[in-house]
A and B are shown apart, each in its own frame.
Chain A
Amino acid sequence: MQLVEKIIKGERAAIAKAITLVESSRENDKNESRKLISELLNKPGKSIRVGFSGPPGVGKSTFIESFGRYLVEKNYKLGILAIDPSSQITGGSILGDKTRMIEISKNPNTFIRSTPSRGSLGGISVGTREASIILDAAGYDFIFIETVGVGQSETMATNLVDIFSLIVGPGSGDELQGIKKGITEYADIFIVNKNDGDLKSEASKTASDYKSAISYYKKSDDTADKEVLLVSAIEQTGMKKVIETIQNIVSQNKKNKNFDERRAKQFTYWIEEEVREIIQFNIQKKIRADGSISQLSQKVMDGKIQMFEAIEAITQNLQNK
């Protein structure tokens, strides 16, 4: 496949087209997408996938710009997948993340793709996982995934990334009580942003709140310790510590095999999900194929048969086929 070679060569347009393919909702594209991804999986790169989640407006994009600037100066190549939440009633969206990633988006060593979230896995869009495989094959050192919301930490951590970090703002420590369990379990790093100007003392306080919260967390295995870090995206402070922490966690988890195990689990989960999707699709097609479902439901509506009878008839029919 020509596309694969182009991706591996790092051709920007090919990478972009491939991401479009894996995001596509068209049935034909899905098959092609699976083939493409299978081929790319045979040619894995070396990237570390890091998730950045957090409530709207805490500065995720600004942080990625700032941290990204720090990394590209050190000659790392960055792939960034920004899942933009701004989907609307009409289904369209305004993808504005790049207005916050002005400097890094100019850099030839970055690839930045925004995607409208549009349903699916609560904020993570269809194709995000596949897109990260494409960027991995294309030779990016880090793949950053930006999503909104704390609620998706589980899916994000268990499905997608090697390291999951939660970005929070000063003063958010109070909310910890209610959500303690979820986040302490799934986040590897807590980044308290906006540690600047008037907000400094509030930020430190928030950081210590998080530190005490994670101290409740009992590690069951020898995974790397969770970390709480203070940064200012705007003043670009604390960045060195962030990259060191990421590298530490990676090397520790690689040493004790947690890194590979996590990826293996994600893989199993993924295949399971794909199978489920295909089966579901096929069944739906069959159910709708002969039009009997609409006839049956009309009969239910008209009071000619009971609903359970209709359901039984359809399942019988499916099994007979």
Chain B
Amino acid sequence: MKTKNSDNYTKWQKSFERETKIDLNEASSETDEGIKIKPVYTKADIENLSFVDNDSLPGQLPYTRGPKASMYTNRPWTIRQYAGFSTAEESNDFYKKNLKSGQKGLSVAFDLPTHRGYDSDDDLVMGDVGKAGVAIDTVEDMKILFNDIPLDQMSVSMTMNGAVLPVLSSFIVAGEEQNVNKNLLSGTIQNDILKEFMVRNTYIYPPDPSMKIVADIIEFTSKEMPKFNSISISGYHMQEAGADNVLELAYTLADGMEYVRAALSKGLDIDDFAPRLSFFFAIGTDFFMEIAKLRAARTLWYKIMKDFGAKNEKSLILRTHCQTSGVSLTEKDPYNNIIRTSYEALSAILGGTQSLHTNSFDEAIALPTDESARIARNTQLILQNETGVTNTVDPLAGSYFIESLTDELSKKAWEVIEEIESLGGMTKAVKAGVPKLKIEESATKKQAKVDSGSRVVVGVNKFKNPKEPKVDVRVIDNNRVRDDQIKKINDVKASRDQKAVDESLAKLVTAAKEDSNLLARSIDAIKNRATVGEVSKALEQVYGRHFATSLSVSGVYGKHFEGDEDFMNVTKKVNIFEEENGRRPRVLVVKMGQDGHDRGAKIVATSFADMGFDVDMGPLFQSPKDVAKDAIENDVHAIGVSTLAAGHKTLVPELMKSLKEIDPKSKIIVFVGGVIPEQDYNFLYENNISAIFGPGSNIIESAEKVIDLISDKIHEHN
């Protein structure tokens, strides 16, 4: 038998090498994770696996094949689309329409002010109200959000981390006032603060008190809300920020371990809360890798929980939500995105996800329209109803390739988990900034691959559409939303019992100082009609607000382009510029408002520096006024505004105004990068913006354009 196999293999190898004219040893391709993918896999590849057990079945340990025995054959995955925009009224309308059209669960996207614990009337959030999610200021908004949606029947997922206390409290009180007791509420609160410090950037307090809040919520829900997932431990945002699958998998599970420890430190028994821990992963374009990742995640979590001493079977099983990758979707030739999303969705299903969000094709342009959201939802309805994928559990089990990949991914992730553990766990690692930097490094490498063309993105760096289609865009008038919200806040404030509010907020502060459970206290405050901002500010008095210090990668982008002609062309221009002007071109890259998307800004900054620019990096959450001061004091040639959360129409004109206020003769040119619908281009040009770099911009070309614009400006004045 053995000899026959090896004879066959030798024969195959000969044929392969004859067909390809490539030595088999050289024929592997390497993934972003550094995993070698061979042209063929055989039985030999699954003979000595470390983590995977070839004999196990679905619903059996180590749960590689799925958390349940029957999986989709019994009930398909939950179609759960993430959505929210503008006011609670409008989002409620949108939800109800979607539920009628076949969506099964709700998933609420809050706007950035809510995420960061500011009320809509706060000056700091002028450009952000209702723009990238729904604005919730008081429990009254929350009640409107679920108007005519019975909370004892609908499972609701809420992406909320920073302002988790007031928002979860509002949800609980909204339920109560619908006559639904909290023990009947089902759904999930994201409540995963560690990845906020790493990549998502909607933190409010420093890491230690933030971890306490997470633990308080796990404690409270494990006792009072048996049907509610206390946390959604999320790798999704890491991959979207640029992490490869090993990093995403390892950091997510390491986060999970840290939360388990935090909950244990409250004196809880592991089996009291572990069954309510849930997960969230991204599904990108690497089809088989993503399938392997979900299988590996379950396999590793089983091992981790076993080591923690969990006994209840439910504690050992990883259940997950998935979302297709937004960052894989392009602004250019956007209908291609429907196809990308379909493959990613299939990958998630073959990996055995419990629920799924599929992105809309206008992802890189703006929030979805009714139409694009319909197509995204139908992607899943078609999979469920037309393709037969629900008929067999874990259909790829036994595939030499999939099993071997699952095991290899597990091994690699395990090494990274051990590395984090040796640093003292994820909270410590996060404080040191290690994971964030690793993810940024990975993101920079990916960008270099696309910019150099070694990774093809159809419609972006190859096979471009000569006739770009025009697509409709959802437009949100944030000034109107803000006015509406302010009016509602004022109404609430006028009719509430102020003394009761003050007292309950004071009790919350005391609880924070005394280290007792904060969720119970914040429910009282919210019931008394304290606002989301007031609750957040009360805790800020005790904990302070966290400001991230950010490190930068250096040399990663440049290394990819050693000897590259276009790259050298820019560095040459920079050197000539320096000779002529006595200094290098100097660019300030900024993020304004509450927009926490920093992947693009960080990549552009490090790449420009690699090409020889001096790049000033502003912190997150700057106001236009701060940026103007910073730019003028450092006498930069240009400001590059990176804006993805749709605040540009408010914030960019403010910046132009502030620059002129400090220096009426300012010659600083301003350009804008990020997610800008084409419909807004003219508006920006009319505000004297020199250039716009949308999603998919090649950074080397952008750098060349920037240095040319700067030179032109200097010559224009000489």
- In angstroms, Cα B550 to Cα A233, docked, is 17
Contact of B554 (CB < 8 Å), options: A17, A88, A102, A116: A88
Contact stretch, chosen from A19-27, A155-163, A273-281: A19-27
- Given known pairs A12-B663, A98-B616, A112-B633, the reply for A91 and B626 (CB within 8 Å) is no
A90 touches B663 (CB 8 A): no
- In angstroms, Cα B558 to Cα A49, docked, is 38
Contacts of A100 in B (CB 8 A): 549
B583 touches A13 (CB 8 A): no
B549 touches A99 (CB 8 A): yes
Interface residues on chain A, size class: 20 to 34
Contact of A92 (CB < 8 Å), options: B551, B581, B584: B584
> Counting CB contacts under 8 A, is B610 at the interface?
yes
- Given known pairs A88-B609, A92-B608, A93-B614, the reply for A17 and B635 (CB within 8 Å) is yes
Contacts of A86 in B (CB 8 A): 552, 554, 609
> Counting CB contacts under 8 A, is A96 at the interface?
yes
> Counting CB contacts under 8 A, is B326 at the interface?
no
- In angstroms, Cα B580 to Cα A24, docked, is 10
What does the 1/0 interface line of B228-245 toward A look like (CB < 8 Å)?
A: 000000000000000000
- In angstroms, Cα B581 to Cα A29, docked, is 9
B611 touches A90 (CB 8 A): yes
- In angstroms, Cα B616 to Cα A112, docked, is 12
B interface residues, tally (CB under 8 Å) = 45
A106 touches B626 (CB 8 A): yes
- In angstroms, Cα B662 to Cα A88, docked, is 32
- In angstroms, Cα B623 to Cα A12, docked, is 18
A172-187 contacts to B, CB under 8 A, are: none
A96 touches B552 (CB 8 A): yes
Contacts of A92 in B (CB 8 A): 574, 584, 608-615
Contacts of A88 in B (CB 8 A): 554-555, 558, 609-610
What does the 1/0 interface line of A112-132 toward B look like (CB < 8 Å)?
A: 111010000000000000000
Determine how close the nearest CB of chain A comes to the CB of B636; give it in whole angstroms.
Answer: 9
- In angstroms, Cα B273 to Cα A291, docked, is 82
> Counting CB contacts under 8 A, is A58 at the interface?
no
B633 touches A111 (CB 8 A): yes
Determine how close the nearest CB of chain B comes to the CB of A208; give it in whole angstroms.
Answer: 27
What does the 1/0 interface line of B582-620 toward A look like (CB < 8 Å)?
A: 111000000000000000000001101111111111110
Contacts of A25 in B (CB 8 A): 578, 582-583
A52-87 contacts to B, CB under 8 A, are: 62, 86
A99 touches B606 (CB 8 A): no
What does the 1/0 interface line of A23-47 toward B look like (CB < 8 Å)?
A: 1111001000000000000000000
B605 touches A94 (CB 8 A): yes
B519-572 contacts to A, CB under 8 A, are: 547-552, 554-555, 558, 571
Interface residues of A (CB under 8 A from B): 12-13, 15-17, 19-20, 23-26, 29, 62, 86, 88-96, 98-100, 102, 105-106, 111-114, 116
Starting from the known contacts A86-B552, A99-B619, 15 additional A-B residue pairs (CB-CB under 8 Å) come to: A12-B632, A17-B635, A19-B635, A24-B583, A26-B580, A86-B609, A89-B558, A92-B584, A94-B606, A95-B615, A96-B617, A98-B618, A99-B549, A100-B549, A114-B616
In the complex, 18 of the A-B residue pairs with CB atoms within 8 angstroms, ordered by the A residue number, are A12-B629, A12-B632, A13-B635, A16-B633, A24-B581, A24-B582, A26-B581, A88-B555, A88-B558, A90-B611, A92-B613, A92-B614, A96-B552, A98-B616, A99-B549, A100-B549, A106-B626, A114-B634
